[in-house]
Amino acid sequence: MRKREKRHLNRPFPYVTLSTALGKAIKAPKIQHGLNAVEIAREWEALVGAKVSAHVQPVSLDKGILTLKTDSSVWRQQMLFMKTELLDRISAQFNHLQVRDLRVI
């Protein structure tokens, strides 16, 4: 059997600080999409009110489409009626996220 070469042990370890590694990880597109959805979810009750937030929750934000999950077909229909108003509120508060449409499930 051939002996394994251990050349990689002679090289210095590439030192990277934790803040640098996390900074790069957070800027990854997949992580950023998740953080955008979390940002909306954090302010959801203030955005729509306590009554609506008890029945409707944001699930994801992908390519400018915010997906909302409702607990009944009645609330799904209500969200479709409120779509324009809700998009205006989201746009006013979270302009940097560029939410252009709602999908209600």
d(CA 105, CA 103): 7
Q: Output phi, psi for 22, to 5 deg.
A: -65, -40
What are the tokens at 73?
A: 């077909």
Amino acid at position 37, single letter: A
What are the tokens at 47?
A: 């955005």
Average pLDDT rounded to a whole number, residues 23-37 = 67
In 3D space, the residue among 86, 102, 97 whose CA is nearest the CA of residue 39 turns out to be 97
Which run of H or of E encompasses 80? helix 73-81
**SS3 assignment, position 54:** coil
What is the reported pTM? 0.68
Please give the pLDDT value at position 97: 81
pLDDT tops 70 at residue 71: yes
d(CA 90, CA 76): 18
Residue bearing the bigger pLDDT, 83 or 23: 83
By CB neighbour count within 10 A (0-12 exposed, 13-18 middle, 19+ buried), where does 6 fall? exposed
Please give the pLDDT value at position 1: 56
In order of start, what are the domains of the chain with their CATH numbers? 15-104 (3.30.300)
